[in-house]
C-alpha cells in the first residue's frame, strides 16, 4: 500500500474554498456561540453562588438540586416515576 504525499492546504486555500458570504456567516455563528459560552459561564458562576448561599443557610444542596430537577418534569410523569419507584423498592425490600 503506497501513501501519497499531500501537502497540507494553506489557510488561504481553505478560505478561498468558502465563499465570502458563507465566510461572514460562519464568523457570525462563531461569534454568537462564543458570546453564549461566556453568558453560560456567567450564569453557572451565579448559580454556584446561590447554591453556596443556600448551603451557608443550612440547606442541603443535593436535595435542592433534586428539587430543581424534579420541578422540570411534568407532574404526571413525575407521579408515574414515583409510583414505579415505590413498586420496585417494594419488590426488592419485601
- Mean pLDDT for 74-78 is 95
Return the pLDDT at 7.
55
Return the pLDDT at 46.
98
How far separated are the first and last CA of the chain, in Å rounded? 65
CA dist 29 and 35 (Å) reads 10
Return the pLDDT at 17.
75
Instruction: Encode pLDDT of 20-69 as tens digits.
Output: 899 999 999 999 999 999 999 999 999 999 999 999 999 999 999 999 99
pTM comes to: 0.63
Q: Which residues lie closer than 8 Å to 55 by C-beta, 6 or more apart? A: 61
Amino acid at each position: 500500500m503506497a501513501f501519497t504525499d499531500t501537502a497540507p492546504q494553506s489557510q488561504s486555500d481553505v478560505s478561498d474554498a468558502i465563499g465570502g458570504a458563507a465566510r461572514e456567516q460562519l464568523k457570525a455563528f462563531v461569534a454568537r456561540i462564543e458570546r453564549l459560552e461566556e453568558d453560560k459561564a456567567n450564569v453557572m458562576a451565579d448559580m454556584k453562588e446561590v447554591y453556596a448561599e443556600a448551603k451557608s443557610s443550612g440547606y442541603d444542596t443535593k436535595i435542592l438540586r433534586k428539587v430543581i430537577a424534579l420541578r422540570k418534569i411534568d407532574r404526571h410523569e413525575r407521579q408515574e416515576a414515583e409510583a414505579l419507584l415505590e413498586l420496585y423498592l417494594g419488590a426488592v425490600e419485601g
